[in-house]
Chain A
Amino acid sequence: MATSKSDTLPGNTPPAKKKKSGALAYIRKNYILYLFLLPAVILVFIFNYIPMYGVTIAFKDFSPLKGVWESEWVGLEHFRNFLESPNFQQIFMNTIKLSAFDLLLGFPVPIILAIMLNQLRKARVKKNIQLIIYAPHFISVVVIAGMIFIFLSPAGPLNAILGLVFDQPISFMSEPGYFRTIFIASGIWQGAGFASIIYVAALSNVDPQLHDAATMDGATLLQRIRHIDLQALKPTMTVLFILAVGGIMAIGFEKAYLLQTSMNIPASEIIDTYVYKRGLQSADWSFGAAMGLFNSIISLVLLVAVNFIVKKLNGETLY
């Protein structure tokens, strides 16, 4: 094919076509590289792209007998049903609140931890503390949830301590009011240490001479942290913040599902847990797909919007 193309336009090959024949020659010569890519390309096609097509069932009345293609179009009916359903507002607000508070409270902790660790002079002490505070990251979400149930049960250790002050044990897991606090606090307990790695690394790249010079000029510790350390962390913070906002609607759904009890549902039902119950457990396929799509669209809009705002503010950007 490549030769026939250059034959038709002898001597006067436009650059684009010339490049194309070069490309084919390149591919033929380096076919191994493309062979290497093949498995990943195929797996991504099957498990990422086909479901993207499958999401069209959000606009159809999917029936397993007819399949995705044959099922009838119903337009935005499922979206309308979801938006007009009596618990939409609650589920939507639960999702927003849980993730927004999680982001606001959880995001600064690893940064503060890294700055605190950075003040330690003895490398061995620092290493050992890091070793300990990273550990919870490696515990599975099922075990974390199990530990939460154990610690917070009415007969559990936390109530034993609180029993010194209060008469009645508090049943934390059946009070909707405690759900978000439990979810977020346990998330920080588990993840903040490990999340600080990246900030610790960024701080270790700061030139010590900067601190020396600032100290000479009479800067206090807090001033140096603010003007040197925090500045050094800014690019990392920016990227991680944008990513976190993009992931806001996909928040820790596996943990939320585990921590749900029939009593705390008013606070713990979020979009993804509801998608699972309606879409898979009740086999309301199209409705579930519509809710999932609704969720991803919000995530995408958030990601793009935050990226845009941050770019305007300080020139850092994700892509």
Chain B
Amino acid sequence: MDNKLINNSKSDKFILFINKILLGLIVLIVTVPLLYVLLGSFLQPDVLLTKGISFDPSHWTIDGYVRIFQDGSIMRGFLNSILYATGFTLVSVIFTIMAGYSLSVDGLVGKKALMLYFIITMFFNGGMVPTYLLVRELGMLNTPWAIILPGAITVWNIILARTYFRGLPKGLIEAARIDGASDARIFLSIILPLSKPIIFVLALYSFIGQWNAYFDAMIYLEDRSLYPLQLILRDILIQNEVQPGMIGDQMARAELQRLAEMIKYSAIVIASLPLMIMYPFFQKYFEKGVMVGSLK
């Protein structure tokens, strides 16, 4: 798309050649670990440990996946995660869009003070302990609300939305106002239909952020039945805790160890695959999101 006319000198051509090789290497560095886990999840653990990746079909197994589905704690975590991420996204996007729109209106009285009110929270915060004590005081410990509400409004997203709304054609809104449309009406029937891209971007960011988070759940939730997927994964991957339901029968310690290893691979794949498959379709929206933010 750009200049083919340029006559690169010999040394420039050499640099461009090296550049391509390096980029190829970078692609390998990114993909090999991912493929290793994906393939590893289908391999018998002792084969993986001694021979590495093998393409001999007799070494393949789906035992890791079977055990995960049998146990059900991962599936329950999956459902919890969907619930938390959806709730969080709804609260976050709806309130952010509303606030962002109001702050984008020209001549809004008190806009400066309101912006200051929001922006201060970018620089100061109470920190982990006071926030925890508040959540406890509100009686939200060990409830989904502790996951959904505290982080729902981020100033950065409000700024993102405001910037987007400012870029919408003013004439349209003016015309509607002259025709006697109320603010609510303008927002619902003119602004919202034009805002699909920003809504989509904000929703994606919120959903994925919440889907991948574990920390709030770790400090606020106690019941295992409330755990989101990431917290279950943490037990399996980091704490090496295998759920009893995954290994039903009595087994030798060594065998247990091997199984635990295999379940790790399958658990990683199950947790990451949905996003990995979906994200290429959303890629352009992510780029858009970054762009809108950079225009601040």
Residues of A within 8 A of B (CB): 23, 26-27, 30, 32-34, 36-37, 39-41, 43-44, 46-55, 57, 62, 64, 68, 113, 116-117, 119-121, 123, 129-136, 138-143, 145-147, 149-151, 155, 157, 160, 189, 193-194, 197-198, 201-202, 208, 211-212, 215, 220-222, 236, 254, 257-258, 272, 275-276, 279-280, 285, 288-289, 292-293, 295-296, 300, 303
Residue from the list B124, B183, B230 in contact with A142, Cβ < 8 A: B230
Which of A32, A136, A215, A275 has a CB less than 8 Å from the CB of B129? A275
List 27 A-B pairs, Cβ < 8 Å. A27-B109, A30-B183, A36-B98, A36-B187, A41-B117, A44-B121, A47-B153, A48-B125, A116-B22, A117-B23, A119-B16, A120-B23, A131-B283, A132-B31, A133-B26, A134-B286, A138-B275, A142-B214, A146-B268, A160-B52, A189-B29, A202-B294, A275-B129, A289-B129, A292-B126, A292-B128, A300-B124
B16 to chain A, nearest CB (A): 6
| Interface flag for B251 (CB, 8 Å) | no
Q: Is the interface of A mostly helix, strand, loop or mixed?
A: helix
Is B103 part of the binding interface, using a Cβ–Cβ cutoff of 8 Å? yes
A319: nearest chain-B partner, CB-CB: B119
Judging by beta carbons under 8 Å apart, are B5 and A212 in contact? Answer: yes
Assembly CA distance A193 to B8 (angstroms): 27
> Are B290 and A123 in contact, with the CB atoms below 8 A?
no
CA A181 – CA B143 in complex, angstroms? Answer: 38
Interface: B250 (CB within 8 A) = no
Query: Would you call B183 and A147 a contact (CB within 8 A)?
Result: no
**Cα–Cα distance between A255 and B129 once the two chains are bound (Å):** 19
Contact B52 A157 (CB under 8 A): yes
A43 and B101 form a contact (CB under 8 A): no
Residues from chain A with a CB closer than 8 A to the CB of B213 are 140
CB distance from A294 to the nearest CB of B (A): 10
Closest chain-A Cβ to B120's Cβ sits at a distance in Å of: 8
B217 to chain A, nearest CB (A): 11
Contact of A140 (CB < 8 Å), options: B26, B30, B149, B211: B211
Find out whether the CB atom of B99 lies under 8 angstroms from the CB atom of A36: yes
Query: Most chain-B CB neighbours within 10 Å: which of A26, A55, A300?
Result: A55
Of the candidates B134, B182, B219, the one having the most CB atoms from chain A within 10 angstroms of its own CB is B134
A276 vs B153: C-alpha distance when bound (angstroms): 23
Chain B nearest CB, measured from A13 CB (Å)? 17
Q: Assess whether B133 is interfacial by the CB under 8 Å rule.
A: yes
Q: Is the CB of B102 within 8 A of A37?
A: yes
Residue B131 contacts which of A51, A220, A293 (CB distance < 8 angstroms)? A51
- Tell me the minimal C-beta distance from B214 to chain A in angstroms: 5
| Least distance between A254 CB and chain B CB atoms (Å) | 5
Give A107 Cβ to nearest chain B Cβ, in Å: 17
Q: Judging by beta carbons under 8 Å apart, are A44 and B237 in contact?
A: no
Q: A116-B23, A123-B1, A150-B264 are in contact. Are A57 and B130 (CB under 8 A)?
A: yes
**Contact pick for A221, options B12, B33, B101, CB 8 Å:** B12
Is B171 among interface residues, defined by CB-CB distance under 8 A?
no
Assess whether A48 is in contact with B121, with CB atoms less than 8 Å apart: yes
Which residue of the partner chain A has the closest CB to B122?
A246
Among the listed B133, B152, B231, B280, which residue makes an inter-chain contact with A43, where contact means beta carbons less than 8 Å apart?
A: B152
Q: Which residue of A lies closest to B291 (CB)?
A: A201
Q: Are A143 and B129 in contact, CB atoms less than 8 angstroms apart?
A: no
Which residues from chain A contact B294 at a C-beta distance below 8 Å?
198, 201-202, 236
- Give min CB distance, B237 to chain A, whole Å: 3
Give bound CA distance, A296 to B290, whole Å. 26
Q: Which residues of chain A are within 8 angstroms of B49 by Cβ–Cβ distance?
A: 155
B66 nearest CB across to chain A (Å): 20
B78 sits at the interface (CB 8 A)? no
